[in-house]
Amino acid sequence: MNAREIELLHNQIQKLHDRRFNLESWKTQTILLLDGIFGENNNKSRQIQKIEYEYSSWTLRDTSGSSSMDDCKRTGQDILEIAIRELENHELPKPAARESQAGLSDIVVSALENELKGWQFKQILQIIRENTEPESKKARITEALNTYGPGITTDILATILSDPGLKF
């Protein structure tokens, strides 16, 4: 059974009900988690990526707006519930490797969120998601991190390495 993966997905569902819910942050964490479980660029991750909240004045005034925050949360929860049912009914290959990868993804995302400003975090995630060669991606990430000030990479690495969930 895929108990660890199911637990992680249930945790993401719980985050939908947090008072300080941030859609973009939740989407990023969820996509990284789903990619770790089901493989990169899977259908569930693509569906989460498509969830958008409209900030237009018409949407804010119209209670029947096409993409209210509640609709976004409901769609996210539906996708995760389908993923959970799939995990409950099918065994995935190599669960140990996937489990450690999913846990590490959570730790890295958390460290980036904690150490970077919002716009910096979004910029790094945008670079990570680009479909470019690893060397080019590494160079762009390095360049961006260097512009954020001295010590930021040390702070990120220290946050990752000191996380209690990190197992060696």
* In contact, 107 and 165? CB cutoff 8 Å: yes
pTM value is 0.51
Q: How far apart are the first and last CA of the chain?
A: 23
Give the DSSP per-residue string, 57-81.
Answer: HHHHH-TT-TT-HHHHHHHHHHHHH
* Interatomic CA distance for residues 157 and 7, integer angstroms: 26
What's the pLDDT tens digit per position in 45-75? 989 988 988 765 554 555 544 458 888 999 9
Q: Measuring CA to CA, which residue among 66, 110, 96, 79 is closest to residue 5?
A: 96
What is the pLDDT at residue 95? 44
Using CA atoms in the order 109, 114, 115, 118, what is the torsion angle rounded to 10 degrees?
Answer: 80
* Interatomic CA distance for residues 98 and 93, integer angstroms: 9
Q: Across residues 135-162, what is the average pLDDT?
A: 92
Q: Across residues 132-146, what is the average pLDDT?
A: 92
Query: Which ranges of 19-68 would DSSP assign to H, the alpha helix?
Result: 23-38, 43-50, 57-61
**Domain residue ranges in the chain:** 3-161
What's the pLDDT tens digit per position in 15-32? 999 989 999 999 999 999
CB atoms within 10 A of CB 133: 9
Q: Which amino acid is at 127?
A: I
* Close Cβ partners of 22 (under 8 Å, ≥ 6 residues apart): none
What is the pLDDT at residue 103? 64
